[in-house]
Structure 1
C-alpha cells in the first residue's frame, strides 16, 4: 500500500471517528451532574431524612444517556469486550477478516434494525409527550428515548470506520491501530 493511499485511509477513518469522539467526550461530562444528584440524594435522605423525588430519575436518565452515547466512542477505541486471548494470537490479516465478517454480517444488520426500531419508539414518545408513570415526579422520557436512535446512527458511522480499518488489516497484514489510528 502506498503511503499516499494509507494517509487517505487514515484521514477518512479520522473523519468517520470524529462524531463518536466528540459525542463520547461530551457525554462523559454527564458524570458530573449524575454525581451531584447522587450526593444530593444521599445527603438529603440520610443526613436530613428528606429524600428527593427527582434524584433517582435524574441519575438513571443521565447514566443511560452517558452509557449509550459513549458506546460508539468505546467501539472506536477498541474498548469493547471480546475474547482477546483467542483473537490476539491470530495474524492481523485474520483479525481483519474476522472483524470485517462480523461487522458486515452481524453488526450492520443489528444496528440498522436497532436504529429503525428506536427511531419509531422515540417518535411515538415525542408525539405522546410521554412521561414516566412509575415516578412520583413523572418526568418526561422522550429526550432519553431520542438518545437511542442517535446511538444507533453513531454506531453505524463508527462501524463504517471499523470496517475500513479491518480491510486495511487484510490488505496490509498490519494492525491499523499500531500506527496513528484509533480515537483520541
Structure 2
C-alpha cells in the first residue's frame, strides 16, 4: 500500500503542477479578448484567429484542469444527499463511481478522440473561418485531458482504498493527502484512526 500511496503522491504533484500552471491561461485569454475588443472598436478590424484562440484556451483550462479539480474535491457533488451518509458510505460511492463510470468514460473518450486528432494532424485541418487556426492542437486537448483525469482518478481510488484499510487520511478533505503536498508515512494511519474515533 505504501508503494501505491507513493504513486498517488507523484500523480498528485503532476496534477498540482498542471493545475497551477493553466491558471495563467485564463489571464492570457482575458488579455487577448481585451486586445481584440479594443482593435475591433478602435480600428473596425476583427480577427477570427483571436476569437478562436480564446476558446482554445478555455478548452485547455477546462480539459487539462479536470484532474486537478478532482484532486481538490472541487467537482460537483450532490451534497444535500451525500452529506447525510456515513463517511465510509461516501467513500464507497466514490470508489464505485471511479471504477464503473469515470475510468471507463476516460477510456472511451481517449479511444474515440485520438483517431480524430491523428486524422486532423495528417490532413492539416484548418478552421473553416477566414483567418482561423489549425485544428489538431485543440482536438488533442480531449485525449490529453481525459488521460490526466484518468491518472488522477487512479490516485483518488488509491487514496480511498487506503482510507478504508486504515492506511491513509480522509480523501474527501481538500487535497486528499491531509491538505499537504507531502504526508509522512506515520501521518496517514493516525489520521485514519482519528477519523474512525470521530465516527
Q: Is the 8 A contact 2:5 2:158 kept in 1?
A: no
Higher relative contact order (CA 8 A, sep 6+): 1
Q: Is the 8 A contact 1:96 1:168 kept in 2?
A: no
Instruction: Could you tell me which runs of 5 or more consecutive residues in structure 1 were left unpaired when the two chains were aligned.
Output: none
Distance in 2 (alpha carbons) for counterparts of 1:83 and 1:22: 28
Aligned with residue 135 of structure 2, among 128, 141, 159: 141
Q: Deviations over 1:40-87 (max 9, x none)?
A: 111112233222332111111111111111111101111110101211
Q: Deviations over 1:87-141 (max 9, x none)?
A: 12222211111111111111111110111111111111111111111x1113101
Runs (4+) of structure 1 exceeding 6 A deviation are: none
Q: RMSD of the TM alignment (CA)?
A: 2.2
Are 2:78 and 1:83 aligned? yes
Distance in 1 (alpha carbons) for counterparts of 2:106 and 2:80: 26
Give the alignment's TM-score, normalised by structure 1. Answer: 0.86
Distance in 2 (alpha carbons) for counterparts of 1:112 and 1:36: 35
Aligned with residue 106 of structure 1, among 101, 110, 113: 101
From the superposition, tell whether residues 137 and 86 of structure 1 become closer, same or farther in structure 2 (CA, over 3 Å).
same
Distance in 1 (alpha carbons) for counterparts of 2:50 and 2:145: 24
Q: Could you tell me which residue of structure 1 aligns to residue 90 of structure 2?
A: 95
Are 2:124 and 1:129 aligned? yes
Are 2:153 and 1:159 aligned? yes
Aligned with residue 164 of structure 2, among 165, 170, 174: 170
Moved more, 154-163 or 19-28: 19-28
Aligned residues: 178
Distance in 2 (alpha carbons) for counterparts of 1:152 and 1:35: 25
Q: Is the 8 A contact 2:169 2:178 kept in 1?
A: no
Aligned with residue 52 of structure 1, among 43, 47, 50: 47
Q: Deviations over 1:11-63 (max 9, x none)?
A: 33211212222222222211122111100111112233222332111111111
Distance in 2 (alpha carbons) for counterparts of 1:164 and 1:25: 23
Give the alignment's TM-score, normalised by structure 2. Answer: 0.80
Spell out the pairing of 1:28-39 with structure 2 (5 A cutoff). 28-39=23-34
Instruction: Could you tell me which runs of 5 or more consecutive residues in structure 2 were left unpaired when the two chains were aligned.
Output: 182-199
Distance in 1 (alpha carbons) for counterparts of 2:122 and 2:179: 39
